[in-house]
Each structure stands twice: as structure tokens, then as C-alpha cells.
Amino acid sequence: MTPPDEKHIPTGPHLPFAGIASFARAPIVAPDGEWSADAAVLGIPFDIALGFRPGARFAPRAIREASLRYAIPVGGFHEFRTGRPRLAGVSVVDAGDVVMPSLEPELMRDRVTAAARAVRRRTRLPLFLGGDHSVTFPLLCAFDDVPDLHVVQIDAHLDYTDVRNDTRYSNSSPFRRATESLPNLAHITVLGLRGLRIDAEALAASRARGHTLVGAWDCAPLDGVMSRLPEGKPVYISFDVDVLDPAVLPATSSPEVDGLSYGAAMALIEAVARRNHVVGMDIVELAPGLDTSGNSALLIARLAIESMAAVLDPRPDEGAAS
């Protein structure tokens, strides 16, 4: 028998369950390294600022693992819907995770802002993977130089509470802190609201600032919400996975019944991307341990890839506003 020839040990491509996990098998880079790419992923494995079920610190790794199923093929994905390739030639890198202190939320925020600034300088579309929703405040601080910045928050909850349980920087308050700190943050549109425990003071403060607040029941079909979306603006999208129905995505800290379908949520992201210049996006509050099937992480990996496509390679009927 001929001994195996070491020259013929293949190095890839791997099946989706094998190999070392980077986001969609993108090259791994340092946030401040020598690189440039159309899209870059940065993980923020932090979940000590939430008031209910923990686990979002495990989301960046779970999304990376699930995303191996969606490694972008050479030549792009061949879409049944349009019959054309998507994301062909789009470069993606994985900038790893922000290095977290064990506690020290203030240090966490400084590090997140610094890493997000570094990534922003090197890519057209930074995609941040939380973490609980408190990470969006330090992320938005990295966009303090964008004039007339608009935020589209897709979320079952308002997250505009001033103080909850003696805490000012929890996942209930990122947008309150952001509007206090960032003079360039012009407007917030919240899509998918339906939480039962809404904070009346936060609601009044949000309305007083003129924010656009849309209930989940008005988000689908899309026609009902189109006139309320920003248009022609630099937009940061903050996607809290609990906007999805818990039957679709159970793996989140604070699920609320009667949420959006995957298709309805993607239609919102595509509509926002079509009408605006998306400067960045985060996906937060996935707690993968709360869904032993792994389906929640798979769904979010696909949502991340399709969001990249919505911004960087929109379908012909979507048009490109950027």
C-alpha cells in the first residue's frame, strides 16, 4: 500500500461544521490593523448590563459558528428570488471581539468606542455583534462625527429609560444616554414596539424629542410603515433580536409575544437601506444558550449576511441610495 502523500492534504473548503470559525470564513484582522474591506464584523461579548436573562456575551461566537453555513461562495450566492448572484466580489473581514474586562462597564464602553472607531475607518459597513443592548451607546459614540445622524432601532422595547434599578447604562437606556451625549444624533425611529412593561417617563421623553415610534402591528405589511422611515439620511441600524416573534427566535433575554417574522424584519432593513446611507449596524440581545436547537443563531447569521447584501449589493428592484 502506498503511504499517504502529505502534499495532498487538502486545506479547504470545509463543510459548515468544520474548521476554525471566523464570520462567514472571512479573514481575521485586528480592529486597527492594515486592512480595508467592504464589510467588517466586530464582536462585543458583554452582557452584564441586562435586567433579565443573561447569555448575550456568547452571541458573537455563536453567530460566527452558525455563519459558517453562509460563507460567501466565489461568485456570490445564487439567489432563487432574482436569479442573479449576490455579494459577488464583496470583501468581508472579521475584526474579532473587543477585549472585555470582567466587570468595569466604563472601561468596556471606552474599549468598544475605540475599537468601533478603528473598524469604521477601514470599512464601508461595520457590523457589530453584541452583546446586550447597552453596547449600542458606546458604539454610537464612535459615530459622533457623522452630521445629522439618524438611528433606526428595530426592537420590541423603547430602551429610552433614564434610570432603572439605580443603573444608568443598562440595556434599557442606551438611546437615552446617546441622545444626551451626542449632539449630532438628530433622530431616532423605533420599529416593532410592543413590550408590556413600557416606561411611561421614557415614552414621554422620547415623544418630546420627536422620535418616530411604530408598533409591531404597524410594521407589516411594509406599506404601512414606509412613510415613517427616514429618507436620504446617514442611518445607523440597531437591531435587537427580540423584535422577532419568540416562536421564530426564542433565544433572547426579554422576549415579547406577537413579534415580527423574519421576512418582515428583513423587509424593514432592506427598506431602510434602500432609502438611506447606512453607516453602521449592530445586532444585539441574542442569547444563544436559551435556544438549544441553535436555530436562533442560524437565523441571525443569515440576517447578518442578508443585511450586508441589503446595504452593499441591493437587489435591482431595491436600488441603492448610497
Name the residues that contact Mn ion, by CB under 5 A: 133, 155-157, 159, 240, 242
Query: Contact at 8 Å (CB) between 157 and 172?
Result: yes
Beta carbon of residue 238, minimum distance to Mn ion (angstroms, whole number): 8
Beta carbon of residue 107, minimum distance to Mn ion (angstroms, whole number): 22
CA distance linking residue 104 with residue 141, whole number of Å: 18
3-state secondary structure of 276: coil
CA 50 from chain centre, in angstroms, equals 17
92 CB-near residues (< 8 Å, 6+ apart): 23, 24, 26, 37, 38, 39, 40, 41, 72, 308
Kind of pairing between the strands at 212-215 and 185-193: parallel
Nearer to Mn ion by Cβ, of 70 and 160: the residue is 160
Nearer to Mn ion by Cβ, of 97 and 240: the residue is 240
Beta carbon of residue 158, minimum distance to Mn ion (angstroms, whole number): 8
Query: Contact at 8 Å (CB) between 264 and 192?
Result: no
Nearer to Mn ion by Cβ, of 193 and 273: the residue is 193
Beta carbon of residue 122, minimum distance to Mn ion (angstroms, whole number): 27
φ and ψ at residue 308, rounded to 5 degrees: -60, -45
Nearer to Mn ion by Cβ, of 70 and 175: the residue is 175
Kind of pairing between the strands at 77-78 and 85-86: antiparallel
Nearer to Mn ion by Cβ, of 65 and 242: the residue is 242
Beta carbon of residue 192, minimum distance to Mn ion (angstroms, whole number): 9
Tell me the three cell numbers of residue 174: 442606551
